[in-house]
Chains A and B, each alone.
Chain A
Amino acid sequence: MSVDPLRTGIALAILFGAAIAVMSVGGIRHRADLSVAAARAFVQLIAVALVIAWIFSHPEGAAVYLAIMVVAAAWTANRRLKGDRRDLGALLVAILAGAGATVLIVAATGALSFTAQALLPFSAQMIGGAMTTAILAGMRLRDDVRDNLPVFENYVALGATYRQAGQQFARRASERALVPTLDQTRSAGLVTLPGAFVGMLLGGATPLQAAQVQLLVLIGLLLVQSITALLTTRLVNPLPDGLGTNVALPQPDAA
Chain B
Amino acid sequence: MIDPVFQLADVTVSYNAVPAVQDVTLDIPRAGVTALLGPSGSGKSTLLRCLNRMNDLAPGAHLVGRVTFDGADIHAPDVDLVALRRRVTMVFQRPTAFPMSVFENVAYGPRLAGPPADLDALVEESLQRAGLWEEVRRDVHQDAAGLSIGQQQRLSIARCLAVGPEVLLMDEPTASLDPVSTRSVETLIRTLAEDLTIVLVTHDLGQAERVADHLAFLAVEADDHSRHGVLVECGPTRRMFDAPADARTAAYLGSQDG
A152 contacts across to B, CB distance below 8 A: 57
> Which of A151, A153, A246, A254 is the one whose CB lies under 8 Å from B54?
A153
Interface assignment of A8: CB less than 8 Å from any CB of chain B: no
Interface assignment of A9: CB less than 8 Å from any CB of chain B: no
Report B45 CB to chain A, min CB distance, Å. Answer: 12
Cα distance A158–B112 in the bound complex, in angstroms: 9
Cβ B57 vs Cβ A239 within 8 A: yes
Interface assignment of A247: CB less than 8 Å from any CB of chain B: yes
Interface assignment of A149: CB less than 8 Å from any CB of chain B: yes
Q: Is the interface of B mostly helix, strand, loop or mixed?
A: mixed
Report A38 CB to chain B, min CB distance, Å. Answer: 40
A248 contacts across to B, CB distance below 8 A: 62-64
Interface assignment of A26: CB less than 8 Å from any CB of chain B: no
Cα distance A159–B83 in the bound complex, in angstroms: 7
Which of A64-72, A160-168, A208-216, A223-231 contacts its partner? A160-168
Place the interface of chain A in its size category. 20 to 34
Cα distance A75–B65 in the bound complex, in angstroms: 38
Of listed A153, A158, A242, A249, residue having the most chain B CB within 10 A = A158
Interface assignment of B33: CB less than 8 Å from any CB of chain A: no
> Which of A155, A160, A251 is the one whose CB lies under 8 Å from B64?
A251
Instruction: Mark contacts of A128-170 with chain B using CB atoms, 8 A cut-off: 1 yes-contact digit, 0 otherwise.
Output: 0000000000000000000001111111111111001000100
Q: Which residue of B is nearest A172, CB measured?
A: B99
Cα distance A157–B52 in the bound complex, in angstroms: 8
B82 contacts across to A, CB distance below 8 A: 159-161
Cα distance A150–B94 in the bound complex, in angstroms: 8
A-B contact count (CB 8 A): 93
Tell whether A159 pairs with B109 under 8 Å between CB atoms, given A152-B57, A248-B63, A250-B63: yes
A242 contacts across to B, CB distance below 8 A: 59
Within 8 A of A (CB), among B74-89: 75, 77, 82-83, 85-86, 89
> Which of B10, B53, B90, B98 is the one whose CB lies under 8 Å from A247?
B53
Cβ A154 vs Cβ B156 within 8 A: yes
Cβ B61 vs Cβ A157 within 8 A: no
Interface assignment of B203: CB less than 8 Å from any CB of chain A: no
Cβ A158 vs Cβ B57 within 8 A: no
Q: Which residue of A is nearest B91, CB measured?
A: A157
Report B68 CB to chain A, min CB distance, Å. Answer: 10
6 sampled A-B residue pairs with Cβ under 8 A? A154-B92, A160-B109, A168-B98, A243-B56, A247-B61, A250-B63
- In the A-B complex, the 10 residue pairs with the smallest Cβ-Cβ separation, listed nearest first, are A158-B109, A159-B86, A157-B90, A247-B56, A154-B96, A249-B75, A159-B82, A248-B62, A159-B85, A250-B75
